[in-house]
């Protein structure tokens, strides 16, 4: 009698453990995190770089931008810009606020405007006669974002950097959405 009871206990334990193991194996996988795209960027980080030219014929410029999207349309973040040519060089760092309009019929392209405040250091011979100078500046601009994939966009923009002197740059680059 004792042996029979022992086998019943072992069989019941085996049935319980096997049902628990099967339940764990057949449990549905958790849903994947939502992917970021131009239509769902809230809470995501956008990092990219641009290359461009200024109105000075030999002054090449570049910029690195990091956007954190508060909503799908509004982002904030730092902007680093720099340029170099035969007359000298300049670089600037600013905090930016950007508004990207969502067009009614498409999520593939978005126009945007951005503005910020920061400082610029320029050493351009025609402007400050062989001396480096640092001052405040206000970068204001706008452009278009074109969605290439859910995470990658092509960006074109024009930036006006107002300080003691006025700089205008035309940029093309790419952004990656994390």
Q: Are 92 and 80 in contact (CB under 8 A)?
A: yes
pLDDT at position 128:
54
The second-level CATH assignment, the architecture, of 45-177 is Beta Barrel (2.40)
pLDDT at position 171:
92
Cα Dmax for the chain: 107
Cα three-residue angle 101-103-105, rounded to 5 degrees: 170
Cα three-residue angle 119-120-121, rounded to 5 degrees: 130
pLDDT at position 97:
94
Can you give the pLDDT of all 178 residues of the chain as single tens digits?
Answer: 555 555 556 666 566 555 555 555 555 555 555 555 556 778 888 899 999 988 877 778 899 999 998 988 889 999 998 888 877 788 889 999 999 888 877 778 889 999 999 998 877 665 556 677 788 889 999 999 998 988 898 999 998 888 877 778 899 999 998 8
Residues forming beta bridges with residue 166, ordered by sequence position: 162
| Three-class DSSP category at 4 | helix
Distance between CA atoms of 100 and 38, rounded to whole angstroms?
Answer: 10
Distance between CA atoms of 177 and 68, rounded to whole angstroms?
Answer: 10
pLDDT at position 34:
52
**111 to each of 38, 94, 104, 107, 131, how far by Cα in Å?**
11, 21, 12, 11, 38
pLDDT at position 4:
58
Q: Are 98 and 113 in contact (CB under 8 A)?
A: yes
């Amino acid at each position: 009698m004792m042996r029979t009871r022992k086998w019943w206990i072992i069989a019941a334990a085996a049935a319980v453990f096997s049902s628990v193991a099967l339940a764990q194996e057949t449990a549905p996988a958790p849903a994947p995190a939502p992917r970021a795209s131009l239509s769902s960027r809230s809470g995501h980080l956008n990092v990219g770089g641009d290359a461009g030219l200024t109105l000075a014929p030999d002054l090449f410029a570049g910029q690195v931008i990091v956007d954190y999207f508060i909503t799908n349309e509004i982002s904030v973040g730092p902007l680093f810009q720099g340029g170099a040519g035969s007359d000298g060089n300049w670089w600037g760092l600013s905090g930016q606020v950007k508004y990207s309009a969502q067009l009614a019929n498409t999520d593939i392209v978005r126009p945007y405007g951005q503005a910020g405040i920061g400082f610029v250091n320029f050493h351009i011979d025609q402007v400050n006669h062989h001396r480096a100078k640092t001052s405040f500046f206000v970068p204001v601009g706008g452009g278009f974002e074109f969605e290439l994939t859910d995470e990658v966009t092509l960006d074109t923009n024009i930036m006006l950097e107002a300080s003691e002197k006025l700089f205008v740059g035309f940029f093309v680059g790419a952004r990656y959405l994390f």
